[in-house]
Structure 1
Amino acid sequence: MIREPAPPPAATIATAPGALPLLGHLVALVRDKFDFLRTLSAHGDLVWVHIGPWRALVVTGAELSHEVLRDDRLFDKGGYLFDRIRETGGNGLVSCAHADHRRQRRLVRPSFHRDRLPGYVRVMSGQIDAVLGRWRDGEVVDVLADMKTITARTMLPGGLPADVIGRMSEDMNVVLAGVAWRSILPKGLDRVPTPANRRYRRAQDRLRALVTEVIADHRASDTDHDDLLSGLLASCGPRDGAPGLSDAEVHDQVLTFLLAGTETTANVVCWALHLVSRHPEVERRLRAEASGVLDGGDVTPDDLARLAVARNVVLETLRLYPPIFLLTRLTTRDTHLGGHALPAGTTVAYSPYAVQRRAEHFPDPDDFVPDRWDGGQEPPRGAFLAFGGGARRCVGDTFGLAEATLMLATITLRWSMRPTSDDEVRPATSLVLSPRALRLRPLAVPSGTPETLHTTGASA
C-alpha cells in the first residue's frame, strides 16, 4: 500500500491575541463574540482559541471549511459544543456521530421528500394566516414569539394549545442559552445547584415530556396531519428490510427537529423582517412580487418557486445572520489540515458567521444586498455554510427555505413592518443567532395595493 506523502510543513498556527490567564478568550467571546470571530481571519486560515480549560482550532477560510465538512468520517461531529447539544437532543440526526448518521439520514430523508411538500405548504399557509389574523394595525408585536408559533405549529399537531406552545418556546430559549454557556464553561459547574442550572434541567424535562406526549397522541390517532411530525413518524419505521428507529431514537429525532427546525427558521424570518423594515425599496419589490403570486388562492410549491425576490432576501439574511454561528468537529485520527499536522482528538471549529462576512467571498460583506443571489451564481465552495455542507448538510434545507420564503412573502404582502426605534438590534446569548427583544409595528396594507406604506428607512 502506497502512503501519500504528508504536506510540506507550514508555519506555526497562530493563537488569537488577548488570551487571559485561566479564562483564555472567554471574556472576548462574551463581550462581543461576532467581532471576535470576524477578527480571527487576520491571523490566518487556522487560529488557536482558548476558552477556559478548552482549546479549539478555528477555521476562518472557505476552502478549509469545505475540507472539514467534506470528510465527516475524519472530522466527526464532536467537541465541547456537541457534547452539550446531546445532553438535550440525545443522539438525533444533527448531533449523532458518523457511525449512526448514514442509517438515521436514510430513514429520516423521506419525511422531506418533495411529494410531502404540498401538504407541508398547506399547513404552513394555515398557520401563517392564524398568526397574522391576530395582528392589529399599528400595534407593536413580539415578532420572534409569533414566528416561533408558526414554525412550531408546522412541526407539531395544530391542536396544541397556545399556552403549551408558549411554554415550549420559553423552555427552548432556556435550553439553547444553557447549551451556549455550558459549552464554554468547565463541566463541573453544571452540577452546582444554581438557579440557572435548575431552570435548565426543568426546561429539559418539560421538553422531553412534551415530545413523549405528542408522539403518543399522534400514534393513537393514526392520522397524517401533513405536519413535519407526521412525516418523521411515517419515515422512521422499517424500510427495505432494515429495522427502523427505536422509540428512543424517534424521540431524539423529534426533539432534535423541534429545537433545530422551529428556532432556526423563526429567527431567520425575524432577521429578514428587521432588515426589510429598514430597506423600503426591498419591501416594495417583495410586496409587488407577492401580490402577483399569493393573491390567487391556495399556495403551492410551484408558487414558491416564483418568489425569487423573497428567496433572495432569505438567502442574504442567512448569509448575514446564519442560525448557528459556530460549530465544532473532532478529528478521529491523525491528519493534516492546511499543511498542519493535527493529532486525533483535536477540536476543530468553523464559523458560518465569520466565513460568510469575508470580503473576498462577498463584496461589501456587511451590507444587505439580496440581489447578490440573482442569476443562480453560486458562491465559492465553503463560502456559504448556513446549511452546513457535505454529507451532513441540513436534511431539511428545502423545507426550511420554503417555509421562510412563504412566511416573509405573506407577511410583506399584508403588512408593512415598521421599526419601533433606531436602536441597533443585538443578538441574544444563545446557541442560535436570535434577535434580542425584536419589536416591530405592523401597518396594514390595503388589499390590492403593492406599494409600501412607509417611505423612510434606516441603514442596517
Structure 2
Amino acid sequence: MPTTYTSATAPGALPLLGHAPAFLRRPLEFVAGLPAHGDLVRLRLGPLDVYVACHPDLVRQLLTEDRTYDKGGLVLDKAREVFGDGLATCPAAAHRRQRRMLQPAFHRDRLPGYAAMMAEEIAGTTASWSDGDVVDVPAAMYRLTTAVTARCLFAAHERAGALPVHDSMDVITRGVGRRVMMPLPGTDRIPTPGNRRFRRARQDLKEVTRRLIADYRAAGTDHNDLLSMLLSARDEDGRGLTDAEIHDQVVTFLLAGMETTAATLSWAWTLLAAHPAIRDRLHAELDTVLDGRPARHEDLPALPLTARVVTETLRLYPPVWILSRVAAADAELGGHRVPAGATILFSPYLLHRRADVFACPARFDPDRWLTNTRPSPGTYAPFGLGARRCIGDVFGTTEAALAIATIAARWTVTPTPGRPVRPTRSSSLSPRPFTATLARRPW
C-alpha cells in the first residue's frame, strides 16, 4: 500500500513577518520541530512562501530528481553570490558537464597524494602547540583546515598555508551565514559595515584567485594539486574551464574544505570531552596504531573508531545544516502539489535527529554505526544525495580523520569550565564560544 505523506502549514505565523522571527530566533529548534506538523510543511518568511521537506522519503525525492528540483531557492541563491556557478551551486543544466570535468581531481587514486599533504600541514600546524596552552578551538581548527585546503589547492605556492585567503574567507563565510538567516529581501544591500566588509573580502578573494590562475597558466606545470587539475580538465568537446569558471570552483573548494571541516573538528572535540569513556577508547586505538606519531593515509583502515567518531559528529552537527531547491515546474512532492518557482528547504540537522530513524538521536554514540553503516537514503545526508552529492565527501572525511587521529594521539582537549558551547551559524554550524586547554599526552 502506498505511503501517505501529510502536508500542513506551520502554526504561529505573524502578520507581515510570518514565521521569520521564530526561524531567526532559534532556527535549529524551530526546524527540528517541524515534523510534528507534517511531512511537508509550508512556512511564510516575510513575503516568501517556502516548503520544508521533513520526511526522509521526500528528501530523497527532492535530491534525486535534480532536474525537477534544481539548485536554487532561498539558501542557494544567497550562496551563489559567493560561489557563482561552481559545482555546489550551478543549475542542473551545467552540473553534468562540470561534474565530469572535475571528477578526476577527486579520483581515489589521487587521495593518497592529497592525504600526504594533509598530514604534513596538520603536523606542521600543531607543532607550535605547548602543554597548558589555552586555545580558541574553532579558530585553531580553521587555521588548520585553511593550511590543508590551500596546500591541496595551490601546492606550487611557496607557502600555501600563508596565502591571504584566511581572513577573506572568514568574513565571507560569516556573511553568507547572515544572508541565509535574513530571508527578508534587500537586507544584504544595505550599506552596513558588515555588508561592506563582505563585498571587500569577496573582491580580495577574487583578486587572489585571479593572480594564482594566471601564475599557473604561465608556468604550464602539473603540480599534482587541485588547481592543476582544474586547468587541465576538458569536457567531451575538448574545451577547458574559463578563468571565471575556475575561480568559482576554487571558491567552492576553499569554503567546503575550510569552514565545514573546521566545524566538524571543533564539534568532535566538544563531544569527546563530554564523553570521556569514548575518548579513552579513541586514545587506546590511537596508541596501538600510531604509537605517538602523526597519522598517515595508510593508517586509516586500522582506525575504525576514529572513522565512526567523524561519522557520528557529522550526524549530530552537519556543518551545512539547511539547504534549498527550487521547483523548475509545477511538481508533486509526496503527493502534494508544489508550484513552479517555489523554494523547498531540507535540513540534514532535522533528518539526523528524527527518533524514528536514530535511536536516542541526541546521544553521541559512534558505536551506532557498527550496525547502521548503510542508512537508508534520505536519513543521513551531511553531503547530500544523488548526482549532486558533494564531490569532496571522501576528501573531507579523510582530512577530519587524519586531524582527529594526529591531535588526539598527542593531546587531550579540555573545554574551559563554565562556558557553555552553543551552535553559532555562519555558513555552517560551529561551536562558540569554545576555548580549551591542551594537555600533552605522555609520549
**If the TM-score is normalised by the length of the shorter chain, which range does it land in?**
over 0.9
1:393 deviates by 0.5
Report the 3-state secondary structure (helix = DSSP H, G, I; strand = E; otherwise coil) of the residue aligned with 2:430.
coil
- Coordinate RMSD, CA, aligned: 2.3
Match in the other structure for 2:327: 331
Aligned partner of 1:170 among 167, 173, 188: 167
Match in the other structure for 1:112: 106
1:296 deviates by 8.7
Change (3 A) 1:56 1:193: same
Q: Which is worse superposed, 95-104 or 219-228?
A: 219-228
Q: TM-score, normalised by structure 1?
A: 0.89
Describe how 1:44-443 pairs up with structure 2 within 5 A: 44-156=38-150, 157=154, 159=157, 168-183=165-180, 184-234=182-232, 236=233, 238-239=234-235, 241-295=237-291, 300-375=296-371, 377-443=373-439
Change (3 A) 1:108 1:162: closer
Structure-1 separation of matches of 2:49 and 2:113: 46
8 Å Cα contact 2:147/2:160 also seen in 1: no
8 Å Cα contact 1:173/1:430 also seen in 2: no
1:295 deviates by 3.9
Aligned partner of 2:18 among 24, 49, 62: 24
1:268 deviates by 0.4
1:161 deviates by 5.7
Q: Which is worse superposed, 171-180 or 99-108?
A: 171-180
Change (3 A) 1:106 1:62: same
CA deviation profile, 1:422-441 (whole Å, cap 9, x unmatched): 43211223121122232111
Report the 3-state secondary structure (helix = DSSP H, G, I; strand = E; otherwise coil) of the residue aligned with 2:431.
coil
* Runs of 5+ unmatched residues, structure 1: 1-6, 448-460
8 Å Cα contact 2:307/2:401 also seen in 1: yes
Q: Which is worse superposed, 246-255 or 149-158?
A: 149-158
Q: Which AA in structure 2 matches 1:205?
A: Q
8 Å Cα contact 1:122/1:298 also seen in 2: no
Report the 3-state secondary structure (helix = DSSP H, G, I; strand = E; otherwise coil) of the residue aligned with 1:19.
coil
Structure-2 separation of matches of 1:53 and 1:433: 26
8 Å Cα contact 1:269/1:408 also seen in 2: yes
Structure-1 separation of matches of 2:22 and 2:177: 15
8 Å Cα contact 1:154/1:228 also seen in 2: no
Structure-1 separation of matches of 2:203 and 2:251: 12
8 Å Cα contact 2:419/2:434 also seen in 1: no
Match in the other structure for 1:14: 8
Match in the other structure for 1:446: 442
Change (3 A) 1:47 1:349: same
Q: Which AA in structure 1 matches 2:173?
A: L
CA deviation profile, 1:281-303 (whole Å, cap 9, x unmatched): 11111122122333497855332
1:228 deviates by 3.6
Change (3 A) 1:201 1:164: farther
Report the 3-state secondary structure (helix = DSSP H, G, I; strand = E; otherwise coil) of the residue aligned with 2:88.
coil
8 Å Cα contact 1:117/1:399 also seen in 2: yes
Structure-2 separation of matches of 1:197 and 1:97: 26
Structure-2 separation of matches of 1:224 and 1:416: 40
Change (3 A) 1:222 1:437: farther
1:151 deviates by 2.0
Change (3 A) 1:32 1:200: same
CA deviation profile, 1:320-366 (whole Å, cap 9, x unmatched): 00011110001111121111111211111100001110001101000
Q: Which AA in structure 1 matches 2:121?
A: Q
Report the 3-state secondary structure (helix = DSSP H, G, I; strand = E; otherwise coil) of the residue aligned with 2:319.
coil
* Runs of 5+ unmatched residues, structure 2: none
Structure-1 separation of matches of 2:162 and 2:373: 43
Q: Which is worse superposed, 119-128 or 80-89?
A: 80-89
Q: TM-score, normalised by structure 2?
A: 0.93
1:87 deviates by 1.0
Runs of at least 4 residues off by over 6 Å: 7-11
Q: Which is worse superposed, 93-102 or 21-30?
A: 21-30
Report the 3-state secondary structure (helix = DSSP H, G, I; strand = E; otherwise coil) of the residue aligned with 1:428.
strand
CA deviation profile, 1:27-81 (whole Å, cap 9, x unmatched): 1122111110111010011111111121210011111111111110111001122
Change (3 A) 1:440 1:22: same
Structure-2 separation of matches of 1:289 and 1:259: 31
8 Å Cα contact 1:427/1:434 also seen in 2: yes
1:221 deviates by 4.5
8 Å Cα contact 2:5/2:40 also seen in 1: no
Report the 3-state secondary structure (helix = DSSP H, G, I; strand = E; otherwise coil) of the residue aligned with 1:21.
coil
CA deviation profile, 1:85-106 (whole Å, cap 9, x unmatched): 1111111000000000000000
